[in-house]
Amino acid sequence: MTELLQKTRRKLTTLWSGFRELTGDNAYELYVARQRRKNPGCPVPSREEFYHQRMERKFNDKDNPSRCC
């Protein structure tokens, strides 16, 4: 029974990771890992600051607006 639970847990973990990647929910973790690898020692914005900056870029880009109005 323990083996079955372990397999189920691994499958669910894999599905959850795939879902997070598909929806972009893991963007902050990927950004932090990349920044720490490329620029160790540089400060990394908080999760809230990261998403705020991301939304600013997305909705206030005058060259490539991503909204209709």
Give 16-62 pLDDT, tens digit per residue.
999 999 998 899 999 999 999 999 999 999 999 999 998 888 888 77
Nearest alpha carbon to residue 34 among 50, 48, 16: 50
Model confidence pTM above 0.75: no
Residue 67 has a pLDDT of 61
* Single-letter residue type at 25: D
Residue 32 has a pLDDT of 94
Phi, psi dihedrals of residue 50, rounded to the nearest 5°? -60, -50
Across 3-21, average pLDDT: 94
Across 10-20, average pLDDT: 94
